[in-house]
Amino acid sequence: MSIPSKHFYMIRHGQTEANAAKIMAGSLDSPLTTGGIEEAKRAAKILPHLEIKPKAVFHSNLSRARDTAHILNEKLNVPMFENADLAEMHAGDWEGVPYSNCQDMLHGWTNPPNGETYDEFFVRIKRAKIKALSHANGPVLIVCHGGVFRAFSKLFEISTFGVRNCHLYEFESSPETPDFPWKSWHYEYYDGKTPALQCDCTVENWVPMTKPSSMTPSTRIESHKINKNVMRTACDIFHADNISPTSSPADKIAS
């Protein structure tokens, strides 16, 4: 069964103690920092301004995703569903070690020693996406992990890195792009104190809107200011043109 090409939203959890310490958490239950809680509260401020709001929230069983989901749902008040299949990849012997010791996993597709294989990870992420997107009552919000974003994109042979904590993405059904049947958007909340960010995947993942751009007009991407606080920007890190030149275990699983 294929992943349904339905409208949905997805967000990574807020900053955790492991993120702050630059340590691989994987399946370990690293809690949100005070900053991570504030990130979730900031992201929650976007939700009332969405044109089409999520009708349900699906989240990982790890506390960092569960707690983020509960903060977000304070603005939605919709049914919530916990699914262990949305958890971060089990990193085996690399769990609890500095990022510098597991670069082959973070920036490649090396299976962690004594952990989950990428074959296994891709299978369960596909299963989780099918379950969430088969929810019949409109779009859902999926609250998960950086590795889940990366696995989801790799199922369609797209390389995605640098998904930031608690930044909301929207995926609109786009049948005209069957290689990756969604158009993706990023939302940013601007409170007048911190610079809003604009997704720019042709130069870097993100550039401040207040910073002079090095892009030519042909590479500028579509943005919409919903109101004085919320910006919606097209994001090419989930675009089929960003296809990885190398194959992975996902080749066998995407269909």
Active site amino acids? 13, 88
Q: Which residues contact 204 (CB under 8 A, 6 or more apart)?
A: none
Q: Is the separation of the CB atoms in 141 and 57 below 8 Å?
A: yes
Given the structure tokens 């998960």, which residue do they identify?
144
Residue-wise DSSP of 40-59: HHHHHTTGGG-SS--SEEEE
> Residue 13, exposed/middle/buried by CB under 10 A (0-12, 13-18, 19+)?
buried
- The residues, any chain, with a CB within 8 Å of residue 54's CB and separated by 6 or more, are 8, 9, 47, 76, 78, 138, 139, 140, 141
Query: In this structure, what are the phi and psi dihedrals at residue 185, rounded to the nearest 5 degrees?
Result: -130, 150
* Secondary structure E strands in 115-157: 140-144
Handedness of CA 177, 181, 183, 186 (dihedral sign): negative
